Amino acid sequence: MSAENKTADNIHNRKIVINPGRLFSSPGNVLTAVILAMGLFITVMRFTKGLGGVTNLDDNYPWGIWISFDLLCGVVLAAGGYATTSAYYLFGLKSFNTAVRPAVTSAFLGYAFVVFALHYDVGQPWRLVYPIFYSPGATSVLYEVGLCVFLYVSVLAVEWSVAAFEWLGWKSIRAVIVRLTIPLTVLGVILSTMHQSSLGALYLIAPSKMHPLWYSSFIPVFFFISSMFAGMSMVIFEGALAHKGLHAEMDEHHLRDADKVVLGFGKAASIVMMGYFFIKLFGLAMDNNWKYLASGYGLWYLVEIFGFVLLPSFMYAIGAREKKTGLIRLAACITVIGVVVNRFNVSLVAFNWQLPPAEKYFPHWMEIGLSIFVVTLIVTAYRVICYYMPVLREHPDYEAH
């Protein structure tokens, strides 16, 4: 057996061993431990003191940063799962082969921890399944969001399980799941289309509370289209981070094809973002809200659509044309920030815009701390999965597949 094959076998036969001494062997591990301890403290406070003990929510702002960041941003940034699987399995773009498993893994973790974080906002976690199984409110947009997210988390869990079964050596079960790939991909795209747009539709009931520049009858369309380029950008962004922090876990195939994924998604994101930019202008013209551009909110709106949409769209286009992957990765970072800015604008900045500054909402430090806690859990789980399972590398037993 060659040295290369021996190394591959050692990687894929890794066993989970907890070494307390290594947990604090680096500053990053120490910081992670501190954040996790803080999260556990906030968890105890939340479920013993209630929302009032850990948040600044009130009747004007019943939804705060836990909805804006953990739910709205979490769902849209996890859209890389359906974007990548549809590109590879449905459109036959084989250059995206190495991006499928990382995208599905991050999407599965993203949605799973969105549900996890939702427990803190809703309370009574044991009742989270009630709208699905006991008391469905089929006429509610929120019910449709909950049902689609529930189903899509299940789809992602099945799609992701292929890597877990390879690691466990369960070949027969893996073979069954692989045969379901195309139906699962189609179902995932349908469910994503529904709940990504429905998250925007939630705000259609509040025309008097949202600033006219962000309120539009097209907001469900805006949310869905932005999820497309958000997912592509997140795949590029995560790939750049993985190459820095998980380089040793990648095989030659993943390292070689990384730039192909960046260039492919960069070109696609440029086109989608340009279309999104003009659709936003169309919505602005349809509602005749040009006069609001002369206000402070108008300036911030222009920063959003020009600085976080049009600018990265051109950067993507130039990067794809000139084969400048570094420029595309920078555009992806700007786009991810811009999508977060947009969701915060819709749910917090432009919401109750007419209230005096003294009555505006600003999150409690524990609300911010819990969001950091959730993100840390996602990153930690992703690193553990990539270390043990064939996500950033191919399992030697299935390379021919």
pLDDT digits (tens, 9 = 90+) for 335-355: 999 999 999 999 999 999 999
Q: Is the dihedral of CA 19, 24, 26, 30 positive or negative?
A: positive
pLDDT value, residue 22: 59
Q: What is residue 169's three-state secondary structure?
A: coil
- The answer to whether residue 223 scores a pLDDT higher than 90 is yes
pLDDT value, residue 103: 95
Tell me whether residue 352 is exposed, middle or buried, using C-beta atoms within 10 angstroms of its C-beta: 0 to 12, 13 to 18, 19 or more.
Answer: middle
Q: Is the dihedral of CA 363, 366, 371, 376 positive or negative?
A: positive
User: What are the two backbone dihedrals, phi and then psi, of residue 23, each rounded to the nearest 5 degrees?
Assistant: -60, -30
pTM of the model: 0.91
Question: What is the 3-class SS of 193-218, one letter each residue?
Answer: HHHHHHHHHHHHHCCCCECCCCCCCC
Q: What is residue 183's three-state secondary structure?
A: helix
More confident residue, 292 or 252: 292
pLDDT digits (tens, 9 = 90+) for 70-116: 999 999 999 999 999 999 999 988 889 999 999 999 999 999 999 99
Domain residue ranges in the chain: 25-394
What CA–CA distances, in Å, run from 218 to 189, 224, 283?
20, 10, 7
User: 243 and 250 in contact (C-beta within 8 Å)?
Assistant: yes
Give the pLDDT mean for 371-392: 93
In angstroms, the CA 183 to CA 155 distance is 10
pLDDT value, residue 3: 42
- Residue 351's beta-bridge partner residues? 210
pLDDT digits (tens, 9 = 90+) for 154-182: 999 999 999 999 999 899 999 999 999 99
Q: What is residue 385's three-state secondary structure?
A: helix
The closest of 73, 357, 380 to 246, measured between CA atoms, is 380
pLDDT value, residue 272: 97
DSSP 105-144: HHHHHHHHHHHHHHHHHH--GGGTTHHHHT---TT-HHHH
User: 235 and 254 in contact (C-beta within 8 Å)?
Assistant: no
User: What are the two backbone dihedrals, phi and then psi, of residue 61, each rounded to the nearest 5 degrees?
Assistant: -130, 75
Q: What is residue 66's three-state secondary structure?
A: helix
pLDDT band at 283 (very low <50, low <70, confident <90, very high): very high
- Residue 210's beta-bridge partner residues? 351
Q: What is residue 64's three-state secondary structure?
A: coil
